[in-house]
């Protein structure tokens, strides 16, 4: 893992911690949110929402090679919570020589990976749309964001208030697209120093093919440039045969380039 990849992992980990930290107490209790630091990684869990986008461990390998102890601690954390499906993110280069055998022995199997992307602060391409793009500035708009994202990522309704809570962290910038008064799409960006992490891009099914995703990505990139960011990062599922991966194509169109494929491991059930 090179320094840019480590920077990408670090800001993503901070963004995940912020998601938990700024979740309203009532929503955190309803979701059963838990978080654990495991060496250089963090394992996040939502007992009452099975989505792997919030049940996952990341950061392994950013300081030291992935160890059997770290993997065992992560496995125990989720097992104790009764969570059977979660992602453990791993960079292949950060595994020890017998890493694959170690993962197999602990009961992990490889799943579809996530491609990470990087971008500099070059001007963003235009993304015209008839939708109105704006940054969320109040609780109502934040909840619009939370509902769109929770639905798009297969999360339960319990997670919408958690996602809306990001508006309470000044490091997050929450963007929405509207058709009149109707929320159409969403996207978020976390700023850390000269780096920006783009996450939670989603569109309401009723408003697809109207340019929302591209326009919100353009708005986030421009905001990052305005704030002095030199590095921008995002990710989506790896491209596989039979899956058109529209987000993948839109990310490339926005000036990002592929950085590294991060492997995902799930527990054999």
Tens digit of pLDDT for each residue in 21-31? 999 999 999 99
- Residue 5's contacts (CB-CB under 8 Å, 6 or more residues apart) are 91, 116, 259, 260
pLDDT of residue 264: 96
pLDDT of residue 109: 95
pLDDT of residue 98: 82
pLDDT of residue 209: 87
pLDDT of residue 244: 60
Within the chain, all domains assigned CATH 3.40.630.30 are found at 132-262
The model's pTM:
0.94
Extract the residue ranges of the chain whose pLDDT is less than 70: 244-245
pLDDT of residue 158: 96
CATH architecture type of domain 132-262: 3-Layer(aba) Sandwich (3.40)
- Residue 72's contacts (CB-CB under 8 Å, 6 or more residues apart) are 106
CA atoms within 13 A on the CB side of 103: 24
pLDDT of residue 2: 87
């Amino acid at each position: 893992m090179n320094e840019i990849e480590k920077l990408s992992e670090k800001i993503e980990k901070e963004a995940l911690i912020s998601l938990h930290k700024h979740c309203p107490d009532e929503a955190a209790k309803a979701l059963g949110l838990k978080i654990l630091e495991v060496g250089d990684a963090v394992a996040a869990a939502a007992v009452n929402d099975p989505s792997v986008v919030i049940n996952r461990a990341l950061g392994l390998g950013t300081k030291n090679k992935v160890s059997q102890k770290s993997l065992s601690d992560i496995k125990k954390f989720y097992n104790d919570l009764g969570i059977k499906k979660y992602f453990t993110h791993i960079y292949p280069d950060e595994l020890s020589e017998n890493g694959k055998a170690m993962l197999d022995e602990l009961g992990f199997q490889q799943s579809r990976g996530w491609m990470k992307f990087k971008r500099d602060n070059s001007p963003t391409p235009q993304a015209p749309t008839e939708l109105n793009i704006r940054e969320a500035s109040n609780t109502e708009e934040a909840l619009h964001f939370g509902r769109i994202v929770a639905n798009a990522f297969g999360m339960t309704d319990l997670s919408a208030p958690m996602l809306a809570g990001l508006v309470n962290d000044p490091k997050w910038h929450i963007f929405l697209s509207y058709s009149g008064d109707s929320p159409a799409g969403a996207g978020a960006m976390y700023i850390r120093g000269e780096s920006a992490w783009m996450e939670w891009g989603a569109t309401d099914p009723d408003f697809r093919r109207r340019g929302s995703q591209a326009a919100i990505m353009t708005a986030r990139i421009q905001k990052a440039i305005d704030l002095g960011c030199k590095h921008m990062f995002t990710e989506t599922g790896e491209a596989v045969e039979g899956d058109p991966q529209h987000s993948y194509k839109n990310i490339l169109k926005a000036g990002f380039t592929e950085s590294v494929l991060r492997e995902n491991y799930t527990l054999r059930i």
